[in-house]
Amino acid sequence: MEQTAEKSSNTLTNGGQVADSDIPKDGTGVVKLDPYLSPFKDYFRRRYAKAQEWMSKLSQFEGGLTEFSKGFNLFGFNVDKDNNITYREWAPNAVQASLIGEFNNWDRKLHPMKKNEFGTFEIIIPSRNDGQPAIPHNSKVKISLELPNGEWVDRLPAWIKYATQDLSVSPAYDARFWNPPAAEKYVFKHPRPKRPASVRVYEAHVGISSPELRVATYKEFTKNMLPRIKSLGYNVIQLMAIMEHAYYASFGYQVNNFFAASSRYGTPEDLKELIDTAHSMGLVVLLDVVHSHASKNVLDGLNQFDGTDHQYFHEGGKGRHDLWDSRLFNYGHHEVMRFLLSNLRFWMDEYHFDGFRFDGVTSMLYTHHGIGTGFSGGYHEYFGPAVDEEAVVYLMLANEMLHELYPEVITVAEDVSGMPALCLPLSLGGVGFDYRLAMAIPDMWIKILKEKKDEEWDLGNICYTLTNRRHGEKTIAYCESHDQALVGDKTLMMHLCDAELYTNMSVLSPLTLVIDRGMALHKMIRLLTHGLGGEGYLNFEGNEFGHPEWLDFPNAANQNSFWYARRQFNLTEDHLLRYQYLNNFDRSMNLTEEKYGWLHSPQAYISLKNEGDKVIVFERAGLVFVFNFHPTASYTDYRIGVEVPGTYRIVLDTDTKEHGGFNRLDHGTRFFTTPEAWDNRANSTHIYIPTRTALVLALESTIF
C-alpha cells in the first residue's frame, strides 16, 4: 500500500545491549546505541515527552492507558447481564440524535438520545418483558443525527461490530446489531501460541484463497488453508482485508467500519473459529490493521459523521490523502486516540489476534506521506517539520499499550523510509515496533529482473541491499509483495517465465530453457532473501509455488470477473505440473530454518561475492550457504571459507528432483574442513556447485 523508495543506508554503529541503569529517562537512550543520532536529541526528548504527557493525562482523567483503550466497553452497543442495551456515540456537532432500526420501524421519534457535555449521545434500552434484548440479533440499525442547520442525516454507528452489503439494493453497507445467543457464540478453546523466535509469515487474503470464481469464506480458509500453511512450515499468518472495507478491489485498504470483521467471508463467529483453529495448530495470527487512513464514504463510513469535516480527521487538505483518495486521522485528538487504541485492543480481546502489521506507516510518519519523496538515508530526513509528531506519538502509545497488555504480541511496521528507532522500545525513545518490512528488497529483485541480464547481476549490490538494515532493529524480508502481484506489475515467476507459465509447466512437455532458468532462480532468490535478508521472512500466498496469474479484483474494467481474484492451489496438487516442485522447496526451506533458526541468529557473515564466478557464500546460525548464479558454469572442487571446523553435509539443495532440479549433488558426500584460512575464514573446504544452484551445509553432528 506504500510508495516504495530506497531504504536508509545508515546502520547503528554500536551493537549489544544497553543496561537499564545506563538508559537516560528522557527518550534519548537510542543515542547510546547510535551516536550519530546525537544532533537530534532534542527531537527524541520532545516526542518522548509528548508520549509521557499523554500517559499522564490518561492516568489523571481516564484511569490510565489500559482503561482508555477499552473504549468499546463505553461506546457503541453494549449489553448487560439483564439484556439491557446501552448505546453511546460521540458526535459533538450534532444537535439531536435518535437510534433507529428495524426494531422500531426506523422511527426517530421513538428512541431519542441524550447528549452530555463532551458531545456524546447515550440511550439505554431496557430488555423486553420476556427478558430478551429489545433489539433483535442481526437486525439493522442506524443513528439519526440532527445537524445545526436542521438537517437530519443517518449514519452507521462508528463502533458497529458487523456490517453487511447487498449490492442488489445499494453499494452502501448496513450496520447490524451483532448479539448472538449464547448457543451461537463461538467460545475460544485454545491459548495464544508463544511468539516464535523466528517469524515465517504467510500473508493471506481470505477472499482469494480458493481456485473457484467467487469470494472464499472464513470457514473454507479454516478447513483448506490452515493445514496448507502449517505444512509449508510457516508459523505466522498475516490476514489482509479483514476490517470491513467499502470496495472489494481496494484489497482491504479503504476501511469504513473499523470494528467490523468483513461480512464478505462470513460472520464474526466464523473468524473467531479460524483464529482459534490456527492457535490449535501453533500458528500466530496477525491482523493487517489500517490506521493510516480511512474510506471517504459518508453514508457508511466515518467521513462527515456528525456533519463536520474534522470530527475524526484533519479538516481541509491536511485531512485528505491525494493518492489514496481517503481521509487522514487527527492523531492529536483525544477521542480519535481513544477510537484507534480501542480498535487495536478490540481485535486482540474479541478475536484473539496475536498482533498487527500496521499498514501505511510511512504515510503516518510524515506530513508529505512519502508522496514524491525519496529517502536517501540522511538522518535529517527523519527529523524536523516533515515529521508528523502526533502520528509518531500515537504509534508509540499503541505499541506501549499492546506490549504492556500482551507480552507475546507482534507488531510490524510497513515503512519504506527507514526511520531510526522505529523498532526500538519507548524506554529508549523508540516507536516500539517489533519488526519493520524490508521494502527495498522486492523493489531490488524486480528491478534486476527487468533491467539486467543474468551475467550482469551485481552480487555486491544484491548482498548490500539484503543486509542494509539497522543493527538492533528487526526486519522482515520478502522477495515480492502483494502489490507486485497486482495487474500492472508482475510476480517474480511471471518476470522469469512470462507466457511459458501457461504452456510449458507440464512434466509431460520438455523442460525449456526459460522454465529451467525461471524455476532455478525463483528458488535461489527466495533462499538468498530468506537466509540473508532479515530476522523474519514473509511470503504472499501463491507466490511460494510461482502462481501463474496476477491479481485483479472484480471491477468495471474486467466486467466484475473473479478470474484473477483467486489462488489456484490446485496446481500444486497436480503431479503432472512443475508447480509442485516450487511448493516443495518452499516447505523444505522453511523447515530447515525451523530446525536451525537462522532468522533469529545474528546477521550473516558474507565471505564471498565473486562477480566473475557469480558465487555468493555466507555463514549464519552455524550453516554455510552457497549460491552459484552463473547462467552456464558449474564448479568442481570450488574452495570456500568456513569459520567452524568439522565435517559438513548438505541439508538443503535447490537441485534435488523433489525441488524440480537435476539431482546433481550427492547428499551422502561429507565435506571435511582443513585449517587453511580462506576468504577471511579460519578454515576451508571444497565443494561441487552446479550452475544456478544453491545449497546449505550443516555440521554433520547437527543433522541427526
Task: Give the Cα-Cα-Cα angle 299, 335, 159 (nearest 5 degrees).
Answer: 45
Which residues are identified as catalytic? 359, 414
Backbone angles phi, psi at 144, to 5 degrees: -105, 125
Query: What's at 645, amino acid-wise?
Result: P
Q: Coil, strand, or helix at residue 202?
A: strand
| Cell digits of residue 691 | 550452475
Judging by beta carbons within 10 Å of its beta carbon (0-12, 13-18, 19+), is residue 41 exposed, middle or buried? middle
- Spell out a b/e string for 279-291, using b for 16 or more CB atoms within 10 Å of the CB, else e: beeebbbbbbbbb
Torsion-angle region of 126 (φ positive above 0: left; ψ -120 to 50: alpha; else: beta): beta
The alpha carbons of the chain give a radius of gyration, in whole angstroms, of 27
3-class secondary structure, 174: strand
Distance CA 340, CA 335 (A): 9
Give the length of the chain: 704
Give the span between the Cα atoms of 8 and 378, in whole angstroms.
7
Q: Is the separation of the CB atoms in 56 and 446 below 8 Å? A: no
Where are the alpha helices (H) located in 62-165, listed in sequence order? Answer: 65-68
- Dihedrals phi, psi of 610, to nearest 5 degrees: -90, 105
Residue 334: burial class (beta carbons within 10 Å; 0-12, 13-18, 19+): middle
- Using the CB atoms, write b or e for 9-24: b if 16+ within 10 Å: ebbbeeeeebeeeebb
Amino acid sitting at position 424? L
Rounded distance between C-alpha atoms, residue 5 and residue 447, angstroms? 12
In angstroms, the CA 457 to CA 627 distance is 13
Other beta carbons within 10 Å of 83: 17
